[in-house]
A and B are shown apart, each in its own frame.
Chain A
């Protein structure tokens, strides 16, 4: 069965610190990759996505992610986090043709 792994379950950072959240998957076919975010009290929303082309994709609020095919990874980054980035972050990866699975999520807390 295909799998996805988010290694960091809880991350605590101070404002202005840099962020990198890992996402690794096992699917070997064509990949469409997503990062979703859930702010406290809000529903899941798209942060960024990769379908093809430049493996470095930029999303909302200064987030970016890099697709590294050889490593089956799609890590999320932000150079300088803000208190408002406190949220839970999920990567979603293919598990088959037109099927996606979500990671278990990383809960980020940014200290003001």
Chain B
């Protein structure tokens, strides 16, 4: 069974540029999460989807971050414009239900110069 797929794995951009991350969850998983992980810290939830509905986006900085999950499968997380402080690893995870185990992708390491 294929795991959670994320792309790109690495991204280097200059500040004020836009960037987008893509996630394909495990087939059949209705719940999808985007996390941000800073060096030396645990993952911090940005947004959670149940199918195509964003049910928890309280931690998403909505002035520059946006996300979508069209058709309730793939998801895209966008930052526009990126700031130096956005340098981090962006993780996507999926689960079969909101109380189920989360399966993580490899993450996208973003560096903003």
Number of A-B pairs, beta carbon distance below 8 Å:
46
B43 touches A43 (CB 8 A): no
Interface majority SS on A: helix, strand, loop or mixed?
strand
A104 touches B43 (CB 8 A): no
B104 interfacial by beta-carbon distance below 8 Å = yes
Q: Which residues of chain A from 5 to 56 have any CB-CB distance to chain B below 8 Å in the complex? A: 32, 34, 36, 42-46, 49, 51
User: Could you say which of B45, B91, B99 contacts A44, with CB atoms under 8 Å apart?
Assistant: B91
Given A34-B101, A43-B104, A51-B99: A104 in contact with B41 (beta carbons within 8 A): yes
B56 touches A99 (CB 8 A): yes
User: Could you say which of B3, B40, B43, B98 contacts A98, with CB atoms under 8 Å apart?
Assistant: B98
Contacts of A45 in B (CB 8 A): 103-104
Number of A residues, CB within 8 Å of B: 20
B105 interfacial by beta-carbon distance below 8 Å = yes
Q: Which residues of chain B from 47 to 69 have any CB-CB distance to chain A below 8 Å in the complex? A: 56
Q: When chains A and B are docked, how far (Å) is the Cα of A49 from the Cα of B3?
A: 19
User: Could you say which of B98, B99, B101, B106 contacts A43, with CB atoms under 8 Å apart?
Assistant: B106
Given A34-B101, A44-B91, A44-B104: A102 in contact with B44 (beta carbons within 8 A): yes
B42 interfacial by beta-carbon distance below 8 Å = yes
Q: How far is the CB of B51 from chain A (nearest CB, A)?
A: 14
Contacts of A98 in B (CB 8 A): 56, 98-99
B25 interfacial by beta-carbon distance below 8 Å = no
Contacts of B99 in A (CB 8 A): 32, 51, 98
A100 interfacial by beta-carbon distance below 8 Å = yes
Closest 10 CB pairs of A and B: A102-B42, A44-B104, A98-B98, A43-B106, A102-B43, A43-B104, A46-B101, A90-B42, A103-B42, A104-B42
Interface residues of A (CB under 8 A from B): 32, 34, 36, 42-46, 49, 51, 90, 92, 98-105
